[in-house]
């Protein structure tokens, strides 16, 4: 049953958002159980796929120390070498992607070990993005699927410029990087569940996937129509069933007339509701249209309405460029919004944001 929006309250929230005010929906950290990172904690499912709020751990972020990353086990300079390196990897391995190389025929890369993927220079040394802007590039239909066994992996300092998301190259029937077999759950990076439940319903959480200094360029995505073969059912750039931390990354050339979300979580698994973090990222959309699209979408929508309140995401210091509204959950409600708040920066209920601080709306 859908919740009916409370018109006066939501109107005030929306008006405040447009004037640059921030709403902090953070919960009292003292009510959380387990360690502060959410790593390796356990909780009991409250039924129906939800988690008791006491089991939610507020994520904390420490900057990725690129100087501390181990020397790569393997350095890949072409698509086949990268596929082979990941297939042969063991937990803890570091795999370098040579900067300046365009991995244009990679296809779907399955990560089923806890590994690090990171750009390296021509000598095989890990590149620190604070010292150099060189990156490896994944393009075409290339994508990374992180399986439950890949929980705790890191994808660092890599660029993506796809012309296809969710399909194998050249097809509209062969799915790629799809979660749980649903064509509506595909992405350039697709993170599967990072938790498991035993027969008694006790949930064990694994480490989140770490994503830092990634650059997603949507310039080549121009259509969400199946016949055009670019997006598998409105695929996203990052789709997650599991817990993750996304920091210092950019999403450019997102389209206001194409349903192609930057970051999407349906918040329909225990681990997707365990406290993911999106911090210090920039999302830029090409203005001019009002398709039902967003930089970040938390929860499933029906007729423009999201009523999910259990995502428990922390959104901090993100910048949204050329979006019409910062936060909205009922984008087709003409009473709440006489002018459509589309495209919207954060398509979510305020209640799904454990923390909502420092996020800004601007134009360019």
CB of 352 closer than 8 Å to CB of 313? yes
CB of 318 closer than 8 Å to CB of 269? no
CA dihedral 37, 41, 46, 48 (to 10 degrees): 80
Q: What DSSP designation does 87 have?
A: H
The terminus-to-terminus CA distance of the chain in angstroms comes to: 40
Hey, what are 66's tokens? 């690129």
Please list the pLDDT of the chain residue by residue as tens digits (364 residues).
333 333 333 444 444 444 333 333 333 322 333 333 333 333 333 333 333 333 334 455 668 999 999 999 999 999 999 999 999 999 999 999 999 999 999 999 999 999 999 999 999 999 999 999 999 999 999 999 999 999 999 999 999 999 999 988 777 777 889 887 554 689 999 999 998 777 887 878 889 999 999 999 999 999 988 778 888 878 999 999 999 999 999 999 999 999 999 999 999 888 899 999 999 999 999 998 888 899 999 999 988 999 999 999 999 999 999 999 999 999 888 887 777 788 999 999 999 999 999 999 999 8
Match 């040394």 to its residue by tokens. Answer: 125
What's the order of all strands across the beta sheet hosting 50-51?
Answer: 50-51, 42-47, 202-205, 195-197
Predicted TM-score (pTM) of this structure: 0.82
């Amino acid at each position: 049953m859908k919740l009916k929006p409370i018109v006066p309250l939501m109107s005030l929230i929306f008006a405040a958002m447009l004037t640059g005010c921030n709403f902090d929906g953070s919960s009292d950290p003292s009510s959380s159980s387990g360690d502060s990172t959410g790593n390796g904690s356990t909780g009991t499912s409250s039924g129906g796929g939800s988690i008791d709020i006491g089991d939610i751990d507020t994520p904390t972020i420490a900057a990725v120390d690129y100087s501390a990353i181990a020397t790569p086990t393997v350095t890949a300079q072409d698509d086949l070498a990268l596929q082979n390196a990941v297939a042969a990897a063991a937990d803890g391995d570091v795999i370098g992607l040579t900067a300046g190389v365009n991995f244009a025929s990679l296809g779907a890369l399955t990560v089923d070990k806890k590994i690090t993927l990171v750009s390296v220079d021509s000598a095989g040394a890990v590149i620190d993005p604070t010292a150099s802007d060189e990156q490896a590039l994944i393009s075409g239909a290339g994508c990374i699927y992180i399986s439950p066994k890949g929980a705790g992996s890191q994808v660092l300092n890599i660029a993506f410029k796809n012309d296809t998301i969710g399909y194998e190259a050249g097809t509209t029937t062969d799915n790629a990087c799809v979660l749980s077999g649903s064509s509506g759950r595909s992405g350039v990076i697709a993170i599967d569940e990072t938790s498991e439940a035993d027969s008694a319903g006790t949930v064990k959480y694994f480490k989140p996937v770490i994503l830092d200094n990634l650059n997603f360029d949507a310039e080549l995505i121009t259509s969400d129509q199946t016949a055009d073969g670019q997006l598998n059912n409105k695929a996203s750039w990052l789709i997650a069933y599991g817990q993750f931390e996304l920091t210092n990354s950019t999403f450019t050339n997102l389209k206001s007339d194409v349903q192609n979300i930057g970051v999407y979580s349906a918040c329909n698994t225990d681990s997707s509701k365990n406290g993911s973090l999106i911090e210090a990222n920039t999302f830029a959309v090409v203005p001019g249209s009002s398709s039902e699209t967003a930089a970040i979408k938390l929860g499933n929508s029906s007729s423009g309405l999201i009523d999910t309140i259990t995502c428990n995401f922390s959104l901090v210091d993100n910048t949204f460029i050329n979006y019409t509204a910062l936060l909205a959950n009922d984008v087709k409600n003409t009473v709440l919004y006489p002018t459509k708040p589309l495209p919207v920066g954060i398509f979510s209920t305020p209640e799904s944001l454990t923390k909502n601080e420092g996020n800004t709306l601007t134009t360019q």
